[in-house]
Structure 1
Amino acid sequence: MAVPEFIVKLREKIGTDPLWLPGVTAVIIRDVPPGAPFHVVPDVLLVKRADTGEWTPPTGIVDPNEQPHVAAVREVKEETGLDVQVEALLGVGAVGPVTCENGDVSSYMDTAVRCVVSGETDVPVIGDDENTEVAWFPISNMPVTNQRFRMVIADAVAQLKHPQGFKPRMGYEKRNKQ
């Protein structure tokens, strides 16, 4: 997996000690076409991670001085080859700590956003070495097992269908009652 150069330099100084990083999760939803039968549901674009074999939305680390929405667009382009626009904030929450195979420990302040594809939505080509597959899945039959990702995908559909009533999630444990 490609490690950003700024992290390589930090790791030279701190070794495997815990590192706090900004991250992004880009949930790309392809809505149901107008006039589709009632049983048709939106699709979500997922990538199959090379390191774990897990299906997830595209994710990544925000570079120094980069805005999270810009990082989300960049990560989707790098991982899928698709151009997207960020349409909505889904939430912000802490993730981790995560221990990599080499012993590096990191935690992330993740910003999750809902995106739409700008232009053609055909199944893209894998854009980097972080993933082995890219595919669209109906949200009713997606291979996502991680509860946090299932939650942000559900949030993306809820925000798409009811934008006025949607409140971004603050934390990934469960929906805050307000």
Structure 2
Amino acid sequence: MATPEFVLSLREKIGHDPLPLVGVTAIVFRDEKVLIGRRADNGRWQPVSGIVDPGEEPADAVVRECREEAGVTVRATRLALVQQVPRITYANGDQVDYLDLVFRCDWVSGEPHPADGELTEVGFYGLGELTDVAHEHVRKIALAVAEDDPASFVGGR
């Protein structure tokens, strides 16, 4: 679970102060199943996610994260949700404010496996099998199920 170099460089300048970052979450479907993995750091089940690199297109980032973390090739097909995640404070004191862009993705190729150590288990599961997935991730999956619904936005009321 390596921290990107650009984040380490910023942390040298700002210490533990809040850092705004753009994150992506991949809701990957193959047939009637969704890709879920168990995180190595906290053991929780969730979709593949990661940080957008400087200058990287978010849809490209979600494709990259799926390849790096789960060893699968996907195609991002639509934006399902845009939301500000409540501030996270990591064990080392670093604070991060993530803008999360949730993409519906279609599986293209590859069998899922823990590719880079960020996940200890990963696979495709039926929607009825997601009992160990936190509510916020189930919501993301629900919003991505429809293939052509417009993106949802939190706030803006």
TM-score (norm. length: structure 1): 0.83
Listed as ranges, the matches of 1:162-177 within 5 Å are: 163=148, 166-171=149-154
Listed as ranges, the matches of 1:48-87 within 5 Å are: 48-87=38-77
Q: 2:25 is matched with which residue?
A: 25
Structure number with larger C-alpha Rg: 1
Q: How far apart are 1:144 and its partner, in Å? A: 4.2
Listed as ranges, the matches of 1:74-153 within 5 Å are: 74-120=64-110, 122=111, 124-153=112-141
1:55–1:143 Cα contact (<8 Å) kept: no
Q: How far apart are 1:29 and its partner, in Å? A: 1.0
Residues 96-143 of structure 1: CA deviation (Å, up to 9, x unaligned): 2011111111011111001111135x4x22111211111111011114
1:25–1:112 Cα contact (<8 Å) kept: yes
1:26–1:58 Cα contact (<8 Å) kept: yes
Residues 52-92 of structure 1: CA deviation (Å, up to 9, x unaligned): 11111000000000011000000000001111101111011
137-146 or 102-111: bigger deviation: 137-146
Tell me the secondary structure at the aligned position of residue 61 of structure 2. helix
Q: 1:6 is matched with which residue?
A: 6
Quick one: which amino acid aligns to residue 126 of structure 2? P
Which whole-Å CA distance do the structure 1 matches of 2:93 and 2:7 have between them?
A: 14
Tell me the secondary structure at the aligned position of residue 88 of structure 1. strand
Which whole-Å CA distance do the structure 1 matches of 2:144 and 2:85 have between them?
A: 18
Quick one: which amino acid aligns to residue 70 of structure 2? T
Tell me the secondary structure at the aligned position of residue 109 of structure 2. coil
Tell me the secondary structure at the aligned position of residue 50 of structure 2. strand
CA RMSD of aligned residues (A): 1.6
1:2–1:129 Cα contact (<8 Å) kept: no
1:46–1:57 Cα contact (<8 Å) kept: yes
Tell me the secondary structure at the aligned position of residue 46 of structure 1. strand
Aligned residues: 157
Tell me the secondary structure at the aligned position of residue 17 of structure 1. coil
Q: Which ranges in structure 1 are unaligned for 5 or more consecutive residues? A: 32-41
Which whole-Å CA distance do the structure 2 matches of 1:144 and 1:20 have between them?
A: 29
Which whole-Å CA distance do the structure 2 matches of 1:143 and 1:50 have between them?
A: 19
Tell me the secondary structure at the aligned position of residue 86 of structure 2. strand
Distance 1:69 1:83, change over 3 A: same
Q: Between the two proteins, what is the percent identity of the paired residues?
A: 41
Quick one: which amino acid aligns to residue 15 of structure 1? G
TM-score (norm. length: structure 2): 0.94
